[in-house]
Amino acid sequence: MPLSIMAYADNFASERREMVRTQLQARGITHQATLQAMENVPRHLYVPSAQRRFAYQDRPLPIGYGQTISQPYIVGYMTEIINPTGGQRILEIGTGSGYQAAVLAEIVDEVYTIEIIEELGKTARELLNKEYDNVFVKIADGYYGWEEHAPFDAIVVTAAAEHIPSPLVEQLKDGGKMIIPIGSPFRVQQLMLVEKQGDDYTTRTLMPVRFVPFKRE
């Protein structure tokens, strides 16, 4: 990490530790790699400067273009559910500010992340490339995934789709997991866990959530 960013990040180190303790561990997040990653990643760098003072509160924040960065608990929960480990390759749909990709990059070998909004994708790419050499950002319609780098051990979708995109299921490894919010943007959605088994898959409803809608080209 560049010294200038590290120095800035250290000003918030105590807030990150408190975030992990009170918002994640206190609410049942136990996956140690997830907890450590979220203590490491300076979340305040992934929010607009006007929102920086709220960066470690447990709430979503606007990042422009009608998009948000998810609250820390949801990021921790979604990360824990896919059980990321070293050696894995993970696809994220909906880069946003890049925060979820950064958390994953602290744990796994390769993160491929797709953002449909060009301005957000470019900003996230610039920030992520300063810190990680294992994150790859593409500006495209995430519905179709990133076939040339498939199969993926897991897929994290950070926008609400009306159904489970079949191209994403196809790009999962056998035994792979996908976490995705399903439902209308005008109603409470359901966070779903998809687990691939051969040519088929199973789904499990995890919790009610509210995400921005899955944008298409």
Active site residues: 70
Q: Pick from 76, 81, 159: which is nearest to 113 by CA?
A: 159
For 43-106, give the DSSP string. Answer: GGGGS-GGGGGGTTSSS-EEEETTEEEPPHHHHHHHHHHH---TT-EEEEE--TTSHHHHHHHT
Q: Which amino acid is at 50?
A: A
Among 39, 41, 69, 37, residue whose Cα is nearest residue 54:
69
